Structure 1
Amino acid sequence: MLGSYRIRRRLLRYEVPSGSFGLPARRRVRLLAMLAVRNQIHLLPGYVANIGPQVDGIVALDDGSTDGSAEFLEARPEVLQVLRVSPDRPYWDEVGNYRALVATALQHGAEWLISLDADERVEREFRKRCERVIWRGRMLRYFAYAVHLRELWNSTGEFRVDGIWGSKTPARLFKARENHEFDTRPLHATKAPLQSRIAGSYPVADLNVYHLGMLHREDRIKRRRRYELLDPENRWQPRTGYAYLTDEQGLHIRRIPAGREYSEGI
């Protein structure tokens, strides 16, 4: 067992490929998406159109929306269940919301889960690539993966790659577990089970998730202000803080490669 662990730890430096290499498709796992939302109706049609065809269902939690977000989700056949939180609740309980989402996804028979926000989109071939990654990781007993989070910048066809921007790899894809060990930080918590880490890290998969939330300058300013209000002492993000969100020094943009585009289907 110790030898196997050492091998897995050494292999963490290598990205798990998602290309086909001409090999036949493998058995599909039951993959569900999880979404927590609050007053984001403007993003939901694109979200459902993008992620719906890539998964076997969406489990959502609406945290007191007053803009019709919950009603929109409940009317969509791709959405298996919408959990509702009263708009009277005075605070955002990120950890409690996430626990509820995972529990509900397990009730719907999830084998694997992908956690995505309303302003995130997956590449067109995500499901096929995801299945290959899962299959290839089985021999190494990989049960969770970090993905490449591409921050779209001033254009829906380009993303930022300099500095921290080119190295964002949150753990979003993971095997569903009844004994999921949750990260209890109120901000920037890891979504994958903590016990699925290897030497404190998750293997990185060749999978792209595109983030619309930093697309326009006004979006970036708003995001920085929001987090500086929520975390004025940078307690939950001490290494970088939040000023970097609006810093364009050293800006380097890259086009989305051919074959790795995303589509909202609308």
Structure 2
Amino acid sequence: MAGRKSSGNKLTAMMQVKNEAHRYLRMVLNDLSEYVDEIVILDDGSTDETVEICRSYSKVVSLATSNESMFGVNERNLKMKLFYRTLATKPDWILAIDADEMFEERFKQEVRSMINQARWDWYAFRFYHFWHSMTHYRVDKLWAPVQYGPRLFRYLPGSKYTWNPQALHGGSIPQNVIADFPGKKSDLRIRHFGYAGTLEETRRKYEFYIQRDPDSEFCPREHYESILDENPVLEAWVE
């Protein structure tokens, strides 16, 4: 049980960003600021006001910038750089979250009891992909809500952490967390707004993935193609 505190744990969110100024960044940072202790951000070559927005939040205690984007090129190095900057702030628990993701409201009431215990070292959550809407999520094909890998995990100094080496879709946290540490699947939900914008924004995401993964090495081609489905099946979000 060395290193596993059952109370008073510090929760630090880590986030990578790129050109998020006119998307969901403010909404996400406002929400995070309500329940995390600190936020660590790595900017991956933004050319808009993303960095300035991040600096305006008092809980952002570490902000690094890069002139050269690594997303979709060397994702492991990007994630590791963010991770080690986060460790420098001495967190007890780390929440890996993107600039277009938010937990349901219930998370704020439960997160402290989740991290202030000594049995579990990680939690996995259900993912809901909102589709051209902030109120409806997709339920067909591989977009249906499923339990994703952990996003909230305890940092144990002295433990070994390894990362998925693939360039894209390599995961948000160290790949060995599930195998090497005890964890739990939660019924709490994450709202993903990456596809909640316009049709044009969705097509740009599709083109980005096809360009970075032309041989579908990291994701089935039919899943990429389903991004452009004209009539996806949607359901309304209910808190």
- TM-score bin (small chain): 0.7 to 0.9
Classify 1:240/1:124 alpha carbon distance in 2 versus 1 (closer, same or farther; 3 Å): same
SS of the residue aligned with 2:33? helix
TM-score (norm 2): 0.83
Residues 2-32 of structure 1 deviation map (CA, whole Å, 9 limit, x = unaligned): xxxxxxxxxxxxxxxxxxxxxxxx8453111
TM-score (norm 1): 0.75
Q: Is the 8 A contact 2:28 2:101 kept in 1?
A: yes
1:209 aligns with 190
Whose radius of gyration is greater, 1 or 2?
1
Structure 2 residue identity aligned to 1:38:
K
Moved more, 58-67 or 216-225: 216-225
- How well do the aligned residues superpose, as a CA RMSD in angstroms? 2.6
2:202 aligns with 220
Q: For 1:92-131, what aligned pairs fall within 5 Å after superposition?
A: 92=71, 93-131=74-112
Structure 2 residue identity aligned to 1:29:
N
Cα deviation for residue 117 of structure 1 reads: 1.3
1:162 maps to which of 140, 146, 159: 140
Cα deviation for residue 135 of structure 1 reads: 5.8
SS of the residue aligned with 2:144? helix
Task: Give the Cα separation in 2 of the matches to 1:30 and 1:65.
Answer: 29
How many pairs were matched up? 227
Q: For 1:72-91, what aligned pairs fall within 5 Å after superposition?
A: 72-85=53-66, 87=67, 89=68, 91=70
- Identity across aligned pairs (percent)? 26
Task: Give the Cα separation in 1 of the matches to 2:154 and 2:131.
Answer: 31
Structure 2 residue identity aligned to 1:69:
T
Q: Which runs of 4+ in 1 moved over 3 A?
A: 90-93, 131-136, 238-241
Structure 2 residue identity aligned to 1:84:
T
2:155 maps to which of 159, 176, 179: 176
Task: Give the Cα separation in 2 of the matches to 1:95 and 1:63.
Answer: 13
Structure 1 residue identity aligned to 2:95:
I
Give the number of the structure whose residues are more often strand, by fraction.
2
| Structure 1: runs of 5 or more not aligned | 1-25, 261-266
Q: For 1:16-55, what aligned pairs fall within 5 Å after superposition?
A: 27=7, 29-42=9-22, 43-55=24-36
1:197 maps to which of 157, 170, 178: 178
Classify 1:37/1:229 alpha carbon distance in 2 versus 1 (closer, same or farther; 3 Å): same
Cα deviation for residue 133 of structure 1 reads: 4.0
Residues 13-55 of structure 1 deviation map (CA, whole Å, 9 limit, x = unaligned): xxxxxxxxxxxxx845311111111221123211211211121
